[in-house]
Amino acid sequence: MIRIEGVNKIYNEGTAQAFDALKSINMQVNKGELIILSGVSGSGKSTLLSLIAGLDKPSSGKIIVNGELISKLPDLHASAYRAETVGVIFQHFNLLESLSVQENVMVPLINSGLGLSVIKEMTQKSMKMSVIEHKATQQISLLSGGEKQRCAIARALVHEPKLILCDEPTANLDRANSLKFIEILHSLHKMGKTIIVATHDPLFEELDFVSKVIAMEDGSIV
């Protein structure tokens, strides 16, 4: 499903502050796999996820998802790619605090062209899958960390993406909520979703449903 060939990412390229965030990354992810990107902070995990999500572009190399070269997509087409293919779960949730759970989950569908009844149905389904439907009308600012994470999961799933990217998803959760997140992740994996998780949480090292662990260090796969 994903093929990464010779990808490099240099920030502040051509200046004295140039920094090699990724170095000659080659990687393949098959459909339905759950991949763990492991490594300490600064190892390049989050940068690699952002490139796969089309949120940033590599300095060189290719990223191909479902046969489409996404590493060269213009911003408008990259947005369309994310809307059709990718769900991203961020470390800091990136929710709209003044809106309700239901309203946050609906956000990715606003420009979808779907009718309101369909949007509501998809939103309800996603909230139920993420075990947050009982908080549908609650304002985000009033939720606990675990509830915010489940809302973020529902938002990432609402457009039924083929690929789910998780960036340090348990960094702001206690152990109990981290285990709840992993339960949801297991359910998504059994549904056939392709999932990549960037994490240094040792909980993920114990899972028996992980397809493979890819260790990263100083911007390289080791």
Q: Which domains does the chain have, with CATH numbers?
A: 2-221 (3.40.50.300)
Q: Reduce the DSSP state of residue 138 to 3 states and report it.
A: coil
How many residues belong to the chain? 222
Comparing CA positions, the residue from 106, 97, 108 lying closest to residue 143 is 97
d(CA 92, CA 170): 10
Q: For residue 42, what are its two tokens?
A: 């600064």
Answer for the pair 2, 212: CB distance below 8 angstroms, yes or no.
Answer: no
Beta bridge partners of residue 27, listed in sequence order: 4
Q: Reduce the DSSP state of residue 63 to 3 states and report it.
A: strand
Q: What is the CA radius of gyration of the chain?
A: 17
pLDDT (tens digit, 0 to 9) for every residue of the chain, 222 residues total?
999 999 999 998 888 889 999 999 999 999 999 999 999 989 999 999 999 999 999 999 999 999 999 998 998 899 889 988 999 998 888 999 999 999 999 999 988 888 999 999 999 999 999 999 999 999 999 999 999 999 999 999 999 999 999 999 998 889 999 999 999 999 999 999 999 999 999 999 888 999 999 999 999 999
Answer for the pair 94, 148: CB distance below 8 angstroms, yes or no.
Answer: no
The Cβ of residue 98 has, within 10 Å, a number of other Cβ atoms equal to 10
Comparing CA positions, the residue from 77, 56, 133 lying closest to residue 102 is 133
Answer for the pair 205, 213: CB distance below 8 angstroms, yes or no.
Answer: yes
